[in-house]
Structure 1
């Protein structure tokens, strides 16, 4: 049945809540887990589910995302499989930016029309989860639904952050409320005994939808509704068969720096909630990098990507991304180091050392804690980051502080002896 499905991955807007990681790249292009990009998550879920016709919609800072898609997703010339970027564009009927999720899909419908399909799977580009979409599609067909919404049970503390659905005994959605703050006890739905035991009795929309082709065109053409969650879905419940597909696995919306930070560090747990090592692995760009070289380093709960040269003293509960270089006697704790896009030559390194300038990577005798180090940064020797009292939030030339997390900006140069 997945052969009758086309998937659309929504690239999101400016991603201001993930700033400064989105200063030069779109949200789906943000590096995750040391070697992947966020967009690899929904695309990998699609491919493992047998869905091989995928559009990625984007409009902000899309150059690096375009490059990643082009270099990663190649299919046989005898197959109709594709992963293509659809950027906001001027056409005879529209010259505006995407105004919301529904408007983005509306402006892209003419690209979908050249294909044969019965169902459209709409996904977000900034979530971490592993789902078999074939199960959701079969549920959509078996219930005779015209729209299906993937839902996840949440507890009362999480309710104000989500659109909450109410369902009947047949999994059909009967009501919807957007981010209720109070008096939502009556919105509890029927969930599994395991979810009840955890107090997770409210069904939250995951922002994952299936639409019948005909209905999607009817809902989007000839009107100015711009958002699925705020307009299309609530207005469709009384008029169309809208089903809930309950998902009880790990899922997190990576929309803020703290959620992004915790999602990445959570991968270092002994048994992480998101499994990087299962058969449903994440597809990404295949890089011909050497294995990592580590000398004199004590590590605990640490993930090291390919091509690293590490001489650090200690690394604890941290993710070290591709091509990272770390000097001797450096300690790193609770950090996500994204790595580098290239190596410096020995000649370049020698020249920088002669000028007493930092080389690409992290220098010697540094102490870094609770930080995200973006790509291609130059951190000198004897640098201390976030080693004292909790820092107040703020945005500075080389870094940003959010909720006690220091984010060193892409290509930032941090001189020897700096204390942040």
Structure 2
């Protein structure tokens, strides 16, 4: 086991513009998923489950809510070496710039990492959904005497144009790499994969953006100020100079890059046997331990619904939907294909029954379909929201329609009787 000789560096990503408006007031790793977690809980939990307990989270945009979540969540014993530190972009005597890319983010923070003893740096993305034992990847890295190891995932041809695609020799060392190839080039970029992957048509090896670097090599590579990105520059430039191993991974993995993939990943949790398994003792996902009451449901037909704790639900029907913490849904409402993130607080009984304001949650007699409802939204009575793939993209003060999905912005109020 090598976990004591590893530090983990979790990249918080850029502005997250493709996930807008979910990233309007928070960084991408702080976006709530699965009703009660945040995206950053995924890589951190994978590290904890792999007994890697020294973690840095690098961020530069809207990092306040991420800082608060990590401070309130990850508490380790005084007698352990474990920590999760958030490093936001900072001005120093040597640099006054924002992070220019993934490698530049690591470069600007090297002085923090080098305060710790480590032999290997595990570099992760803060916006992916997967469960992985990093010890197996570390074992492969050490056993093959590699200098860099890249986790790779077999993908189908239509997905391959969105990834860095690579080819390997018979010992799994990477011989060539191309970033986001044109579709016409793909026939030359197939790889030998397992029979199970072949049967699914997954013949192209894609980089998952998960890397292990030997300490000294990382230091050497970071001395070149002209390389700003791992995927576009560091990896392609290193393949013929440094022993770069492919570590194949065949489990569930998805990159939460845009609203569509985020929506699909959350609603996928309602499947009978979800590809992403939250019900596993050995692969727990950790998050903030909230002291919330049990959920109360009255008169509701539920079908493929995931409901977090602390909710008060009187809806007529909830189908193929994820309902987040402290959500309130009124009588005779129907919720279909929806991810409702819930609320940060409970309102008082007087606020909920007020005749002058719309309380948090969803009111009575509403119909909501194909929606993401961000935190703390106030949706009035008799509201109809029914968008589909034919709906035109649009943005107002309170919502965004994108890719056939409507996102109700955080804290928005939708008046009684609104039809969208």
Same fold (TM over 0.5): yes
Q: What is the distance in 2 between the residues matched to 1:347 and 1:367?
A: 25
What's the counterpart of residue 91 of structure 1? 92
Asked if the contact 1:169–1:190 (Cα under 8 Å) also holds between the matched residues in 2, the reply is: no
Q: What is the distance in 2 between the residues matched to 1:110 and 1:97?
A: 16
Distance 1:236 1:376, change over 3 A: same
1:17-416 pair list within 5 angstroms: 17-181=18-182, 182-279=184-281, 280-350=283-353, 353-355=354-356, 357-386=357-386, 390-416=390-416
Asked if the contact 2:388–2:405 (Cα under 8 Å) also holds between the matched residues in 1, the reply is: no
Q: What is the distance in 1 between the residues matched to 2:80 and 2:389?
A: 57
Q: What is the distance in 2 between the residues matched to 1:124 and 1:377?
A: 29
After superposition, give the CA deviation of every residue in 1:299-324 in whole Å (9 maximum; x if it has no partner): 00001101000000000010000000
Distance 1:387 1:209, change over 3 A: closer
TM-score by length of 1: 0.98
TM-score by length of 2: 0.98
Superposed CA RMSD in Å reads 0.9
After superposition, give the CA deviation of every residue in 1:308-364 in whole Å (9 maximum; x if it has no partner): 0000000001000000000000000000000000000012223xx321x31110000
Report SS of the residue matched to 1:368: strand
Report SS of the residue matched to 2:406: strand
Asked if the contact 1:25–1:61 (Cα under 8 Å) also holds between the matched residues in 2, the reply is: yes
Q: What is the distance in 2 between the residues matched to 1:389 and 1:267?
A: 21
How many residue pairs match? The answer is 417
Q: CA deviation at 1:159?
A: 1.1
Question: Which structure 1 residue ranges, 5 or more long, are not aligned?
Answer: none
After superposition, give the CA deviation of every residue in 1:132-167 in whole Å (9 maximum; x if it has no partner): 000000000011100000000011111111110000
Distance 1:60 1:183, change over 3 A: same
After superposition, give the CA deviation of every residue in 1:1-60 in whole Å (9 maximum; x if it has no partner): 111000000000000000000000000000000000000000000000010000000000
After superposition, give the CA deviation of every residue in 1:103-141 in whole Å (9 maximum; x if it has no partner): 000001000111110000000000000000000000000
Q: What is the distance in 2 between the residues matched to 1:101 and 1:383?
A: 43
Asked if the contact 2:389–2:404 (Cα under 8 Å) also holds between the matched residues in 1, the reply is: no
Q: CA deviation at 1:395?
A: 1.4
After superposition, give the CA deviation of every residue in 1:193-246 in whole Å (9 maximum; x if it has no partner): 111111111100000000000000100114221000000000001100000000
Asked if the contact 2:173–2:243 (Cα under 8 Å) also holds between the matched residues in 1, the reply is: yes
Report SS of the residue matched to 1:120: strand
Question: Which structure 2 residue ranges, 5 or more long, are not aligned?
Answer: none
Pick which of 254-263 and 214-223 moved more: 214-223
Q: CA deviation at 1:387?
A: 5.7
Q: What is the distance in 2 between the residues matched to 1:183 and 1:101?
A: 26
Q: What is the distance in 1 between the residues matched to 2:414 and 2:193?
A: 51
After superposition, give the CA deviation of every residue in 1:338-393 in whole Å (9 maximum; x if it has no partner): 0000000012223xx321x3111000000000000000000000000016883201
Report SS of the residue matched to 1:354: coil
